């Protein structure tokens, strides 16, 4: 039986802010997604302190504006900081799929037991299934442990490519995270983990959402109970 995971995203502005947020989040989460992009003067010491405060498995990212984040650091510096997260015990690190291959290989060489998520986001539209297939194949060739594909849904029909690529990745026994952002895409947040995805991102409440259309932990669990009965 599938056992999809609740991934609670946290986006702290400081180490102390993270230590406050984690107290409630860990009770609700199977995994904690840690956004590092808002922490001022981010350095290795702060990353180590953040990871030391977590008991649950983690996904760590440091996203630029293109990926929905605020980091202005270059690719090389961001990968170096994420290598620190890996050394500090991150379960997963999320890198953009268009990260230069040499930096991806460098991360993989130095990541220890940390698994790599390679992610693609389109905030303007939903890519066609053919493009999603090409992106999935690129991530697989780059030896991603988890393939993350995200597009924007303007209508319910935009969910279709996400459902299709999810079925195909599940059939190939690839680990994945697939999402259609926005209210019309909410069904993908419920169903793709049941198809075989790693889990789904769900904040404790709407004000802490990190993407359009995210369901809260309580909402997602209620929906999954429907499918269990």
123-160 per-position pLDDT tens digit: 999 999 999 999 999 999 999 999 999 999 999 999 99
Q: Is residue 71 domain-resident?
A: yes
Number of domains present in the structure of the chain: 1
Distance of alpha carbon 182 from alpha carbon 205, whole angstroms: 16
Predicted pLDDT at 212: 80
Predicted pLDDT at 1: 47
The residue range of the domain holding 76 is 5-222
CB-based contacts of 208, cutoff 8 Å, min separation 6: 9, 10, 11
Whether pLDDT at 52 is above 50: yes
Predicted pLDDT at 209: 83
Q: Is residue 229 domain-resident?
A: no
* CB 176 within 8 Å of CB 157: no
For residue 73, the domain's CATH number is 3.20.20.70
> Which pTM does this prediction carry?
0.95
Whether pLDDT at 64 is above 50: yes
Nearest by Cα to 207 from 11, 53, 41 = 11
Predicted pLDDT at 213: 82
Give whole-number Cα distances, 16 to 5, 12, 87, 200, in Å: 26, 8, 21, 26
Q: Is residue 54 domain-resident?
A: yes
Q: Is residue 227 domain-resident?
A: no
């Amino acid at each position: 039986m599938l056992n999809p995971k609740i991934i609670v995203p946290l986006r702290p502005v400081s180490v102390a802010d993270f230590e406050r947020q984690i107290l409630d989040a860990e009770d609700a989460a199977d995994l904690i997604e840690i956004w590092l992009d808002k922490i001022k003067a981010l350095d290795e010491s702060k990353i180590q302190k953040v990871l030391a405060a977590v008991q649950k498995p983690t996904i760590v990212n440091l996203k630029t504006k293109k990926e929905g984040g605020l980091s202005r650091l270059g690719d090389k510096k961001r990968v170096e900081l994420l290598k620190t997260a890996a050394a500090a015990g991150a379960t997963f690190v999320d890198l953009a799929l268009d990260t230069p291959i040499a930096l991806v290989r460098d991360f993989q060489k130095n990541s220890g037991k940390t698994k790599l998520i390679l992610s693609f986001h389109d905030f303007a539209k939903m890519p066609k299934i053919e493009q999603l297939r090409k992106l999935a194949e690129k991530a697989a060739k780059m030896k991603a442990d988890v393939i993350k594909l995200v597009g924007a849904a303007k209508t319910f029909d935009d969910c279709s490519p996400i459902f299709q690529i999810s079925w195909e990745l599940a059939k190939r026994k690839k680990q994945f995270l697939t999402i259609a952002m926005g209210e019309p895409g909410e069904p993908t947040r419920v169903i793709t983990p049941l198809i075989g995805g790693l889990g789904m991102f769900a904040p404790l409440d709407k004000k802490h959402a990190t993407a359009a259309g995210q369901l809260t932990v309580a909402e997602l669990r209620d929906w999954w109970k429907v499918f269990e009965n």
